[in-house]
Amino acid sequence: MVEYYVGIDAGSTRCKIIVIDEKNNIIFQKKKAIAGDPEKVVKDLLKEAKKKYKVKAKNSKFGITGRNGQDLKLIDNKYSELLCLAKGSNELEPDTKIVIDTGSFTNKELKLMDDGSISDYIQNDICSSGGGIFLELVCKSLDISLEKMSELALNAEKIVPITSQCSIFAESEVIYLMNEGKSVADISAGVCNSIVGRIVPLVSRLGIEQKVVFSGGVAKNEAIRQMFEKQLRFKLAEMSIDPQYITAYGAALLSKEVK
């Protein structure tokens, strides 16, 4: 008898695992840095789930997705990230129209139909200037944490524009702005605003409709969320789970459909 459904999102830099029961309740979730060895990380996360909840092959179904998940031989059921994003988002927020997913390197924007299927999408994986790695590089330059950046940006007096289109050049620009005497708070606001400025035009091409789900690690930045809402002129959907796990949640849900 199947007791558990396991979704794994092996992304560019981090692997996320989520375990749900028959009623789609989340009973376990954890993430871990890929660190160049996705197969080992997946094995380690599965070992933790097995130890804590007795998750094993005879009582579970498994699904995997993500950039580092497609070539792994540990799990047979492989799904596209777009399909998992749509599935997870629509389950958590019925009637979702738009999904914005911002990961370490990629931005994905999906438009969903009334039944939750994908009608259109845009994916940008050429430049990381609108992704999490961009934030991490700038935080390193400013010597602050990601959480601190969000806090500072929310309390900034003004937004200092970040004009560079490349993550590396933007990092240099931030150092220049600091040397010019700009405050860390105002620079942080500019960095967060630049993320929004990269993504909103992409979403606009799909035709913005309520309701909008914001997914991925960058979605945990409250300053960026609020800037999105200001530009969109409506509230983003409030998620009941950590937005970084939405894709893994979708993979778990899809595993339930396997006969």
Q: Does residue 73 have a cis bond before it (omega within 30 degrees)?
A: no
72-87 mean pLDDT: 92
Q: Which helix (H) or strand (E) holds 169?
A: helix 167-179
Sheet holding 4-10, edge to edge: 26-33, 14-20, 4-10, 60-65
One domain, residues 28 and 153 = no
Task: Assess whether pLDDT exceeds 90 at residue 258.
Answer: no
One domain, residues 102 and 142 = yes
The tens digit of pLDDT for each residue in 154-192 reads 999 999 998 876 767 778 888 899 999 999 999 999 999
Task: Assess whether pLDDT exceeds 60 at residue 122.
Answer: yes
Indicate the pLDDT class of residue 38, thresholds 50, 70 and 90: very high
- As for how many domains the chain has, the answer is 2
One domain, residues 159 and 113 = yes
Residue showing tokens 């930045």:
221
One domain, residues 116 and 54 = no
**Any idea what the CATH number is for the domain that residue 173 is in?**
3.30.420.40
Indicate the pLDDT class of residue 247, thresholds 50, 70 and 90: very high
How far is Cα 3 from Cα 197, in angstroms, rounded to an integer?
A: 44
One domain, residues 102 and 207 = yes
Assign 127 to helix, strand or coil: coil
Assign 141 to helix, strand or coil: helix
Q: Which helix (H) or strand (E) holds 144?
A: none
One domain, residues 10 and 115 = no
- Compute, in degrees rounded to 10, the torsion defined by CA atoms 123, 66, 255, 2: -160
Q: The domain containing residue 159 runs over which residues?
A: 95-238
One domain, residues 249 and 232 = no
Please choose, from the candidates 146, 139, 202, 134, the residue with its C-alpha nearest in 3D space to the C-alpha of residue 170: 134
One domain, residues 99 and 193 = yes
Residue 156 in any domain: the answer is yes
The tens digit of pLDDT for each residue in 5-21 reads 999 999 989 999 999 99
One domain, residues 78 and 100 = no
How far is Cα 199 from Cα 102, in angstroms, rounded to an integer?
A: 9
**pLDDT for 97:** 96
The tens digit of pLDDT for each residue in 197-230 reads 888 988 999 998 899 999 999 999 999 999 999 9
Residue 90 in any domain: the answer is no
One domain, residues 215 and 139 = yes
Indicate the pLDDT class of residue 237, thresholds 50, 70 and 90: very high
